[in-house]
Amino acid sequence: MPVMPRGARRAVILSLFLSSAVFASVLLAQPHATWALSELKGSTGETQQPPQASDEPDAEVPADDGSSTGEGLPLPDPLINQGTSESGVARPQADDSKPVEVIRDIEKAPEPVRRMRELIVEAAASGDIERLRPLMNPGPNQTQVTVGESAEDPIEFLKSLSGDDEGIEVLAILLDIISTGFVHVGQGTADEMYVWPYFAEESLTSLTPPEKVELLRIVTAGDFADMLEFGGYNFYRIGITPDGQWKFFVAGD
């Protein structure tokens, strides 16, 4: 057998060594590759997907409302202001310290008041709203039928409020109102008046059961609930001065 030169033998040995090293590295790398793949598989054998970025925004840190430290923006006012109505007008507050004297005997009113009331009753019961016109003191001091500016024609205005074209509904309301008990207010002042119904001057929270029945002959139970929330009676009321002038027939606060 021929002897290989020393240089040739060295080249062969080096080649075998490099081939062995490469083969060993492949064998060592194979288990690691298998382990890495198993890490990407779930228990069902399906390849897991890398975690996706969440579409939800990061949780925000609540702003300090200043309630604990006294710093920061002030809290907003409540949506419902118990002291005012929706229109911004101060709600009527009943004075429970001054009981209202309800008068049911019309004979206790002055003769001019009794006479005007009688004329109003007769006109309302007739079904002809025009019969109210001469009772309304036509002119600069005519009977007030609106809250605020005076109506140019009070009869036409009342017709516009009625559920029918002839104003019959308003006449019925007028008759119901003036058939209740009444109160005498403003004694000794320029605003002295006899006012129907007495609910206009009485605390609704102190009504007796019979008085509630009388009120519900004029308004509905829903209206009564709204009045309690509002703070007072706000349906139609009638005012007659001691000298017999029909001062107002208005609804509202």
The beta strand positions in the chain, using DSSP E, are: 183-185, 193-196, 237-240, 246-250
Domain boundaries, the chain: 106-250
What is the share, in percent, of the chain residues with pLDDT greater than 70?
60
Higher-confidence residue of 28 and 124: namely 124
Could you tell me the pTM of the whole model? Answer: 0.62
Q: How far is CA 43 from CA 49, 52, 147, 197, 228, in A?
A: 13, 20, 80, 84, 68
Task: Label residues 170-206 b or e (16+ Cβ within 10 Å = b).
Answer: bbbbbebbbebbbbbbeeeeeeebbbbbbbbbbbbee
Query: pLDDT digit string (tens) for 158-172?
Result: 999 999 999 999 999
Residue 58's pLDDT is 53
Beta-bridge mates of residue 47: 41
Query: pLDDT digit string (tens) for 106-161?
Result: 999 999 999 999 999 999 999 999 999 999 988 888 999 998 777 789 999 999 99
Tokens 């000298």 belong to 243
Whether residue 63 has pLDDT greater than 70:
no
Whether residue 31 has pLDDT greater than 70:
no
Tokens 């208005």 belong to 250
Alpha-carbon distance 31 to 20, whole Å?
18
